[in-house]
Amino acid sequence: MVFWHYLLPFIFFTALVIQLIYILGIFTRLLSHYDNEPDAEQKKKPSVSIVVAAWNELENLKELLPLLEAQEYPNFEIIVSDDRSVDGTYDYLLFNEGGYKKVNFVRIESLPAHFTAKKYAVTMGIKKATKEIILLTDADCRPTSPHWIDYMVAQMTQGKDIVLGFSPYEYADSRLNSLIRYETFQTALQYFSYALSKMPYMGIGRNLMYRRELFWVTNGFASHHGLLGGDDDLFVNEASNQENVAICIEPEAHIISVPKKTWSEWITQKRRHLSVGKRYKLRDKISLGLLAASHLICWFWFLPVFFIKPEWFEAPEWSRIPTYLLDDYNLQDFYLYNDWMRLITFVFFFWLFIRWIVLAKANKKLNNTVSSWKIPYYDMLYAGYYLIFGLITLFSNPKKIKWR
């Protein structure tokens, strides 16, 4: 039992230190970041191809394509990669029923062996594209302004090949929706902060930009073409380096997406997203593993450490509870226990307070994606999410996870 009196506190305090390093050393990078403003005087801006992979997305395309055409940017095209749709998408695009001026499309009739649908559709869309920069989104997404392209391009300065955008989910009054939006906020906080710390590891395909040349030089999705996920994060993980990634957090460049409505749909989606993490670079797997493990320990190790009574601990005299107060309640035998309990309570809430402050400021930077005052509550739920999905991902085979 004495062994645990040393081991449990050591693990708990180590996790707290690791968490503070991430919070104060990495996450705070986002707080001081400001996007480049688009240059209104620049006459020759790089050309952009917006690529949208679509499978039976006719109704979504009818809403999305007019918003894309309304983008206030001088030189861009829209490529719809129609992946074997049977809902009328092909006829709609073929006869240009929307009267679009900038929309072109490629029709996919069959899927090559060992090539997953989304990656093949994106590849064919990029192959069809004629512009120098590729900007990706999904059919069920909506740009928040006509300046989306302009702000994303403004971040692709000299030496930058990839721009990571933000794609929050729309609000709905449900616990699932709140958790989805908090998880999306946490994911964005991590990949933005890591990129600013020169450790980029992923991006989100709903709002992602890169140079077309980069896609072909790095062989696109060749190394993971058989996995369902990874058309965004695995590509960024392989194609990025310390210097070639920028971020765009401007609210006018956000892409709003529709979240899953049921727990089962969301679980399927998250299993697909998380399963490809096994293919990340070793550096990223270790770093993200430490972040997740330390977060879990801070939340779930608190009570076990709180209730032990280590014989080696002796509180400083100035911090002790006055003896007369213990005598009044006949608690003399619990004096040491009370000092330890107070210490653990203090360090836990100190960590939680620091985390809350930094995350609330980051949330403001990302246009208040979630309610800042609820961050501690959803952070506790997020720890449970980490635990459950971490175990599911650890023991699952990415090749057996379904797309829908």
Round to whole Å and give the CA distance between 292 and 273. Answer: 16
For residue 271, tell me if it sits in a domain.
Answer: no
Same domain, 236 and 336: no
In a domain, 279, yes or no: no
Final residue belonging to a domain, choices 248, 263, 278: 263
Residues 259 and 316 in one domain: no
- Asked whether residue 280 is domain-assigned, the answer is no
Ramachandran assignment for 368, one of left (phi > 0), alpha (psi -120 to 50 degrees), beta (any other): left
Contacts of 374 (CB under 8 A, 6+ apart): 178
Confidence of residue 231 (pLDDT cuts 50, 70, 90): confident
The CATH number of the domain holding residue 89 is 3.90.550.10
Q: Are residues 238 and 111 in the same domain?
A: yes
Do 22 and 42 lie in a common domain?
no
Q: Above 90 in pLDDT, residue 193?
A: yes
The strand pair at 141-143 and 103-108 is best described as unpaired
The one-letter amino acid code at 187 reads T
Mean pLDDT of 107-128: 92
Amino acid at 185: F
Same domain, 21 and 48: no
* 313 in the same domain as 252: no
How far is residue 109 from each of residues 43, 55, 125, 286, measured CA to CA in Å?
Answer: 40, 12, 14, 41
Number of helices and strands in the chain (H, E): 15, 9
pLDDT tens digits for 324-352? Answer: 666 666 766 655 567 888 889 999 999 99
Q: Are residues 66 and 211 in the same domain?
A: yes
pLDDT at 401: 45
Distance CA 278, CA 95 (A): 43
Overall average pLDDT of the 58-87 stretch: 96
Asked if residue 274 belongs to a domain, the reply is no
Would you say 266 and 259 are in contact if contact means Cβ atoms under 8 Å apart? yes
Q: Within this chain, do residues 132 and 257 fall inside the same structural domain, yes or no? A: yes
| Residue 56: inside a domain | yes
Pick from 263, 297, 318: which residue ends a domain? 263
> pTM for the whole thing?
0.90
Q: Are residues 317 and 364 in the same domain?
A: yes
Domains: count for the chain: 2
Tell how strand 48-54 and strand 133-138 pair up: parallel
For residue 306, give its domain range.
2-28+287-400
- Residue entry with tokens 């100035």: 318
Residues 143 and 9 in one domain: no
Mean pLDDT of the chain: 89
When mean pLDDT is compared across 82-91, 266-275, 338-347, 374-383, the lowest value belongs to: 266-275
Q: Nearest Cα to 71, choosing from 41, 89, 45? A: 45
268 in a domain, yes or no?
Answer: no
Claim to verify: residue 161 and residue 89 sit in the same structural domain? yes
- 265-324 per-position pLDDT tens digit: 887 777 766 667 778 899 999 999 999 999 999 999 998 898 887 878 777 766 776 666
Between CA 398 and CA 404 the distance in angstroms is 14
Note whether residue 272 is domain-resident.
no
pLDDT band at 404 (very low <50, low <70, confident <90, very high): very low
Are 209 and 333 found together in one domain? no
In a domain, 187, yes or no: no
**pLDDT at residue 402 is higher than 50:** no
The string of DSSP codes covering 246-272 is EE---GGG-EEEPPPSSHHHHHHHHHH
